[in-house]
Amino acid sequence: MREKELIVYRNMSREEGKLLSDMSYIIDHYKEIYHYKGASGRLEELKELFYACIHELLELAGNHGFYGNLWHCYLANLLVNDENSYSRACEVVGPAEGSINQAVLHDIVIFKEFFDFDFAPVVKLFGAESWALIEQYQGSDEESKVYNTRIRQRICDLAEQFCRDNTPEEMKDTLTQFYRDYGVGKFGLHKAFRIVPGEEGARIVPITNIAHVHLDDLVGYESQKQKLIDNTEAFVRNKKANNCLLFGDAGTGKSSSIKAIANEYYEKGLRIIELYKHQFRDLNDIIGQIKNRNYKFIIYMDDLSFEDFETDYKYLKAVIEGGLEKKPKNVLIYATSNRRHLIRETASDKNDRDEDLHTNDTVQEKLSLAYRFGVTIYFGKPAPKEFQNIVRTLAKRYHIDMEEEKLLLEANRWELSHGGLSGRTAQQFIDYLLGKL
């Protein structure tokens, strides 16, 4: 086989491409053993390598959750994860133009040879009946370590479609459509990411197990949600949009609203990157890694606030607005906080007797970060009637059969000793009831 002749898709990592190289070696050499003296030694060598490949494919199924033909799933997985000039050009926006298409078609011809190869003679030669497991593997319903169920199914479906494609041209069109619909690599296949330190700087790493919160799950706060929706809708449609600050009382749905937004607009190319304040110094590095991609990125900062002695907020100020380099159009910052002005203020900030002779400068310095968020949305503690409405709605959603008067009485008792009136308290009360039932 011709994996060494790949042009566009040749930069896969050594770890990712080893199985492809081993299988290619087996395919190229399994017939030659008949022409060697002492061919049994050569046969055992290739047979051992073939069983090692079967082992790797089964491990792949366990880690990634693949099912069906695991060899085809492996090949499809290589193609959807290879971030190259063509795949990045096609992500979200569709087919690329120019001579790159000829180079890609050259590579797809090679991949189609791998997809179409008949392993029956190899299996017969090695007596490897266990290969049948690879061609018709039945996976479990458990979440994989690498992909969630949605992504796993898309890759398995893609592998099946490649087999139905009659020509390399059809296979290339199928792959290009996948790039347009879902993207490529980690940004294409995942919704949410975190930042981890690495030897070469900050790395953006997928979060594989995220909360599947939807906007309809959040009871109440309709005007607040609509304001967030309008801003995000403008962002994903390439219109002017603002950085958002969601502030207010604890447990009122600020963080859940942003998570719901990430789920709502994933199909339109929106991705979310979680950042903690001790990582602010990595902001420029992070933005440098995403600014030339076709996705829209929300950098999400939860529970953002600073004490007087903390100065890392100045890095954030410079990135949002004020640095020489303009913030990319595909990046917004969404933050939540219990404080409207983010930085702790004291009475001495406005006291004329303070040692700082320019007290107004001190106040303005502390307010300047909050002012860089063009959209601010207040989430207040619900009134008693609103709290009861949240409880009723959640009880109905989870099919809790309890007399309403008793339900609300128990809910009121619960909130008195569990943090007061809030959507979070209501959800915790419902979870308590579900646990008892």
Instruction: Please state the φ and ψ torsions of residue 166, each to the nearest 5 degrees.
Output: -85, -25
**pTM, to two decimals:** 0.83
Return the minimum-mean-pLDDT range out of 21-30, 85-94, 315-324.
315-324
Q: Which amino acid is residue 405, in one-letter code?
A: E
Mean pLDDT on 126-141: 90
State the Cα–Cα distance between residues 393 and 159, nearest whole angstrom.
Answer: 42
May I ask the CATH architecture of the domain 245-250+260-375?
3-Layer(aba) Sandwich (3.40)
Model confidence pLDDT, tens digit, residues 176-228: 999 999 899 999 999 999 999 888 889 999 998 777 788 888 888 999 999 99
Please state, in angstroms and rounded to a whole number, the distance separating the CA atoms of residues 191 and 183.
11
Tokens 């954030």, residue located: 316
Provide the pLDDT for residue 41.
67
Angle of helix 423-436 versus helix 404-416 axis, rounded to 10: 120
**Which range has the worst mean pLDDT, 34-43, 178-187, 413-422?**
34-43
What's the rounded Cα separation, in Å, for the pair 224 and 386? 15
Given this model, what pLDDT does residue 162 score? 97
Mean pLDDT, the chain, whole residue set: 87
Q: From 96, 80, 56, select the one nearest 162 (Cα to Cα).
A: 80
pLDDT at 86 over 50: yes
* Residue 277 confidence (pLDDT): 84
Over residues 63-72, the pLDDT tens digits come to 999 999 999 9
Cα separation, 121 vs 124, in Å, equals 5
- DSSP character for 238? T
Dihedral angle, C-alpha 113, 154, 16, 292, nearest 10 °:
110
Q: Residue 153: CB partners within 8 Å, gap ≥ 6?
A: none
Q: Can you give the pLDDT at residue 150? A: 84
349: left (phi over 0), alpha (psi -120 to 50) or beta: alpha
Please state, in angstroms and rounded to a whole number, the distance separating the CA atoms of residues 434 and 420.
20
Could you tell me the two tokens for 2? 């011709």
Helix (H, G, I), strand (E, B) or coil at 270: strand
CB 55 within 8 A of CB 133: no
Element (H, E) at 255: helix 254-264
Alpha-carbon distances of 346 from 315, 317, 337, 363, 370, rounded to whole Å: 23, 21, 18, 10, 16
Residue pair 300/334 in contact by the 8 Å Cβ criterion: yes
Q: Name the E strands within 168-222.
A: 192-198, 201-206
Cα–Cα distances (Å) from 201 to 23, 81, 128, 195, 283, in that order, read: 35, 22, 46, 10, 11
Which token pair is 420? 């007061």
Residues contacting 231, CB < 8 A, separation 6+? 241, 242, 244, 375
Question: Is the model's pLDDT at 309 over the cut of 90?
Answer: no
The answer to whether 9 and 107 have CB atoms below 8 angstroms apart is yes
- Cβ-count burial 237-246 (b if 16+ within 10 Å, e if not): eeeebbbbbb
The Cα-based distances of 313 to 266, 316, 360, 362, 366 in angstroms read 29, 5, 19, 15, 10
